[in-house]
Structure 1
């Protein structure tokens, strides 16, 4: 394998992994939007807090899309199967109110955190991008939802 082919293969692997993260972030943005809409309709006061967390995920969509393009890839534009699942979960959670909705969102944040922690097989530049540019915000949104959930107990 030539060095050019090795780099191309590494970039392809990184693009695939980053696109998987991107789909998860798009799913998070969609899920937060659905949850906010339903909770606002129920008169919940959690909307502002959730909008802030949603904005963090939207910013990560932008960062991931840009990084995929920098690597020569095409950024995925949908949330894939996880997004469809998240819509079903959130649709059901909204019926049960704030506590169930926050629990469902926290579960999604747990999943996102695990995705960002699993960096086996990615190049060092991509690893540093995830750890430096994405993971701190993922931890922040995860911790914020965990605190909201604890406050409801």
Structure 2
């Protein structure tokens, strides 16, 4: 039960991330044409993949995966709404803040001594490393982004 609660919390974050990236991709397509959104699309796909992995593990453990992003999703909409009124750099910074928050959530989950080995393995081998790669990509995009 404990593992399912942790997985659902992480799933909410990933659902929020997919919503936020979808909004960012739509925004960047409108503003900048295709170039910028192409850099973000792999990250969006990785978050969708993380959602699938978490849902599958929750189901395998006998739980019911949550279906909405809850408060985080609302927060993402507010952040993204503010970024929509600003430039591309603000959008990238909002995404980066979300990625760093997500990485912290995964690191926090790994500190849980009651975490089962299959949950720990998914976080260590796939989810956290993907999150860290997203942060590096966004760092690079921010370095080259104009306002």
TM-score (norm 1): 0.88
Larger Rg: 1
Q: Pick one of 67, 79, 95 that aligns with 2:85.
A: 95
Following TM superposition, by how much is the alpha carbon of 1:152 offset from its aligned partner in structure 2, in angstroms? Answer: 2.5
Q: Pick one of 21, 28, 31 that aligns with 1:39.
A: 28
Following TM superposition, by how much is the alpha carbon of 1:95 offset from its aligned partner in structure 2, in angstroms? Answer: 1.2
Residues matched between the structures, number: 142
List structure 1 segments (4+ residues) > 3 angstroms apart after TM superposition. Answer: none
For 1:131 and 1:13, how far apart are their aligned partners in 2? 18
Unaligned runs of 5+ in 2: none
Q: Secondary structure at the match of 1:56?
A: helix
Following TM superposition, by how much is the alpha carbon of 1:111 offset from its aligned partner in structure 2, in angstroms? Answer: 0.4
TM-score (norm 2): 0.91
Partner of 1:141: 134
Q: Contact between 1:25 and 1:61, CA under 8 Å: does it hold in 2? A: yes
Deviations along 1:38-95, one digit per CA (max 9) or x if unpaired, are: 1211124311111111001000000000000011100011111001110111011021
Following TM superposition, by how much is the alpha carbon of 1:140 offset from its aligned partner in structure 2, in angstroms? Answer: 1.2
For 1:93 and 1:42, how far apart are their aligned partners in 2? 12
Q: RMSD of the TM alignment (CA)?
A: 1.3
After TM superposition, the structure 1 = structure 2 runs for residues 43-122 of structure 1, keeping only pairs within 5 Å, are: 43-44=32-33, 45-118=35-108, 119=110, 120=112, 121-122=114-115
For 1:54 and 1:20, how far apart are their aligned partners in 2? 19
Unaligned runs of 5+ in 1: 1-11
